[in-house]
């Protein structure tokens, strides 16, 4: 691409493209970095810079870029049947096969799938299905869903309401009625003098307190991500999820595991709930189901819920034009085949996850790093002004953004969530590439430290 072509694209981008989750004015001033190509675990920008994608796109490009098998699967399906809907008692071959495949890798109590196009739409579907379930059981007042502060469940009206992002709730009159939140299980910030195990029980107890405060007969469901992703890779203590399960069972509350990030091998299991040993009623999935090669999402539903929806008869008045899109489903089938054939999950569990953990935890000796946490192929660290005293930086310094800028400039994508720096690399990374990535991250921590020292902020 010539410099002139690039400037023309940048100008179009600035003049016409409203980017998601973006300060439009700030972007207009700065201009976009245009990404033109991907190969393996690398992306390339229009200026020819090669950047190691430590975030797998947006947590989704699990198998990396340039997988011909996925492109071929799309091409074959497009030439055979590019689209047909699943309304009006019709179906298509990839959708039926993918539903069965997802049921086969999901926990045993779950055997049915509803397709959507994204994680947000999956969660919207769940809100409607949960409320219909309780209506059909003669308990229509049971319509309150409990989520968590700093949880992320998407950006549609229901998705953003289930999530606990204060900045999102501040715009557009959210949350919608009958969605309430409890505190997140963030040990480093909220653990106090407790052990991790003790804190996990305490944090789960906040759910019980909320159920009792709202009224047992009002609470329909609880939703959480096994590991909070967009909130900054918050990994709960191992005692947390089993206690959440106990509480949901005790009060008959449906359990929703939002696996949009944790699904498909990210934690070394098909779904994060399998790692933590929970038995959800709903799993939200999206992103890595196609490794990001096509927008596809949906919901895996437990038999106890789907049997009520089916047995009652009557239409579930909900669906999307592209529910069960044959091209997306064909790509997902091929993606899952590759994950099995290449033993991606085993590799994450036995090789890549432990390797990433060892290398990432070594960053904890850096003067800026307060704590490091990893699980499978996600990792997070927090930048602290005085790590011994757990003293955070002044938020107006936007220290995370300084570090993120250095990472981009040095050739690694690392995301900043406030002052938490997080990664979720492709599941096909080699141990050598992990070493390279950690080397660059350390260099960027040094550069951030230098910049803060020069500003007099450290």
Ligand X SMILES: Cc1ncc(COP(=O)(O)O)c(C=O)c1O
| Minimum distance of ligand X from residue 99's CB (angstroms) | 19
Place of tokens 């038995």: 279
Query: Which of these ranges, 3-11, 79-87, 118-126, 317-325, lies near ligand X under the rule CB under 6 A?
Result: 118-126
Q: Decide: is 225 part of the binding site for ligand X (CB under 6 A).
A: yes
CA distance 140 to 152: 26
Binding residue (CB under 6 A) for ligand X from 153, 404, 406, 420: 153
Cβ atoms of 253 and 220 closer than 8 Å = yes
Q: Decide: is 230 part of the binding site for ligand X (CB under 6 A).
A: yes
- Residue 172's φ and ψ, nearest 5 degrees, are 85, 20
Helix, strand, coil % over all residues of the chain, rounded to 5: 45, 15, 35
Query: Which of these ranges, 90-98, 114-122, 216-224, 425-433, lies near ligand X under the rule CB under 6 A?
Result: 114-122
| Minimum distance of ligand X from residue 60's CB (angstroms) | 8
CA distance 358 to 270: 23
Beta strand 110-116 with 297-302 is: antiparallel
Q: Decide: is 297 part of the binding site for ligand X (CB under 6 A).
A: yes
Q: Decide: is 334 part of the binding site for ligand X (CB under 6 A).
A: no
Binding residue (CB under 6 A) for ligand X from 64, 224, 229, 263: 229
Q: Is 119 or 200 the residue whose CB approaches ligand X more closely?
A: 119
Query: Which of these ranges, 184-192, 253-261, 321-329, 350-358, lies near ligand X under the rule CB under 6 A?
Result: 253-261
| Minimum distance of ligand X from residue 116's CB (angstroms) | 9
CA distance 436 to 450: 21
Binding residue (CB under 6 A) for ligand X from 56, 77, 92, 118: 118
Q: Is 154 or 400 the residue whose CB approaches ligand X more closely?
A: 154
- Residue 301's φ and ψ, nearest 5 degrees, are -120, 140
Total residues contacting ligand X by CB under 6 A comes to 16
Binding residue (CB under 6 A) for ligand X from 41, 46, 260, 278: 260
CA distance 24 to 77: 38
Token readout for 89 is: 């008692």
Q: Is 123 or 125 the residue whose CB approaches ligand X more closely?
A: 123
Helix locations, 106-215, DSSP H: 119-136, 157-162, 166-169, 187-190, 196-214
Q: Decide: is 208 part of the binding site for ligand X (CB under 6 A).
A: no
Query: Which of these ranges, 151-159, 247-255, 364-372, 418-426, lies near ligand X under the rule CB under 6 A?
Result: 151-159
Token readout for 212 is: 């009792």
Calculate the alpha carbon distances from 208 to 16, 96, 105, 222, 441 in Å.
Answer: 48, 39, 30, 11, 40
Q: Decide: is 417 part of the binding site for ligand X (CB under 6 A).
A: no
Other beta carbons within 10 angstroms of residue 167's beta carbon come to: 7
SS3 category, 228: strand
Q: Which residues contact 340 (CB under 8 A, 6 or more apart)?
A: none
| Minimum distance of ligand X from residue 325's CB (angstroms) | 14
Query: Which of these ranges, 62-70, 212-220, 224-232, 366-374, lies near ligand X under the rule CB under 6 A?
Result: 224-232
Residue ranges in 275-294 that form contacts with ligand X under rule CB under 6 A: 284, 286
Whether a cis peptide bond, with omega within 30° of 0, leads into 175 is yes
Query: Which of these ranges, 62-70, 147-155, 390-398, 425-433, lies near ligand X under the rule CB under 6 A?
Result: 147-155
CA distance 328 to 306: 23
CB nearest ligand X: which residue? Answer: 119
Cβ atoms of 444 and 403 closer than 8 Å = yes
| Minimum distance of ligand X from residue 56's CB (angstroms) | 12
Q: Is 202 or 415 the residue whose CB approaches ligand X more closely?
A: 415
Q: Decide: is 258 part of the binding site for ligand X (CB under 6 A).
A: yes
Chain residues in the site for ligand X (CB under 6 A): 118-120, 123, 152-154, 225, 229-230, 258, 260-261, 284, 286, 297
């Amino acid at each position: 691409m010539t410099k002139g072509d690039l400037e023309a694209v940048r100008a179009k981008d600035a003049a016409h493209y409203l980017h998601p989750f973006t300060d439009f004015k700030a972007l207009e001033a700065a201009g976009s970095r245009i990404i033109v190509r991907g190969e393996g675990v690398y992306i390339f920008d229009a200026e020819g810079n090669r950047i190691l994608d430590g975030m797998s796109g947006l947590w989704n490009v699990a198998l990396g870029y340039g997988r011909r098998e996925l492109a071929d699967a799309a091409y074959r399906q497009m030439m055979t049947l590019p689209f047909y809907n699943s309304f009006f008692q019709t179906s298509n071959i990839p959708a039926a096969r993918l539903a069965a495949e997802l049921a086969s890798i999901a926990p045993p109590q779950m055997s049915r799938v509803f397709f959507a196009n994204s994680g947000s739409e999956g969660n919207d579907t769940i809100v409607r299905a949960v409320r219909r379930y309780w209506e059909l059981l003669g308990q229509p007042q049971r319509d309150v869903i409990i989520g968590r502060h700093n949880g992320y469940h998407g950006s549609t009206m229901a998705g953003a309401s289930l999530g606990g992002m204060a900045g999102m709730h501040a715009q557009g009159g959210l949350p919608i009625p009958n969605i309430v939140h409890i505190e997140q299980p963030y040990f480093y910030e909220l653990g106090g003098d407790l052990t991790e195990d003790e804190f996990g029980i305490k944090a789960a107890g906040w759910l019980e307190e909320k159920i009792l405060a709202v009224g047992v007969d009002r609470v329909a469901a609880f939703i959480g991500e096994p590991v909070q992703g967009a909130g900054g890779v918050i990994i709960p203590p191992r005692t947390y999820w089993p206690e959440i399960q106990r509480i949901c069972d005790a009060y008959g509350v449906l359990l929703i595991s939002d696996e949009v990030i944790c699904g498909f091998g990210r934690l070394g299991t098909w779904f994060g709930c399998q790692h933590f040993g929970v038995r959800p009623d709903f799993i939200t999935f999206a992103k890595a189901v196609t490794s990001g090669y096509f927008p596809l999402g949906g919901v895996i539903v437990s038999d106890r819920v789907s049997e009520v929806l089916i047995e009652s008869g009557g239409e579930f008045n909900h669906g999307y034009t592209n529910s069960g899109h044959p091209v997306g489903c064909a790509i997902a089938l091929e993606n899952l085949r590759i994950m099995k054939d290449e033993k991606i999950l085993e590799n994450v569990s036995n090789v890549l996850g432990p390797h990433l953990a060892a290398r990432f935890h070594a960053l904890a000796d850096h003067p800026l790093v307060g704590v490091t946490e990893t699980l499978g192929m996600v990792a997070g660290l927090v930048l602290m002004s005085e790590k011994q005293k757990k003293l955070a930086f002044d938020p107006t310094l936007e220290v995370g953004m300084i570090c993120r800028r250095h990472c981009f400039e040095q050739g690694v994508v690392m995301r900043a969530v406030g002052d938490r720096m997080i990664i979720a690399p492709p599941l096909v990374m080699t141990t050598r590439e992990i070493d390279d990535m950690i080397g660059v991250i350390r260099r960027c921590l040094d550069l951030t430290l230098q910049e803060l020292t020069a500003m007099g902020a450290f």
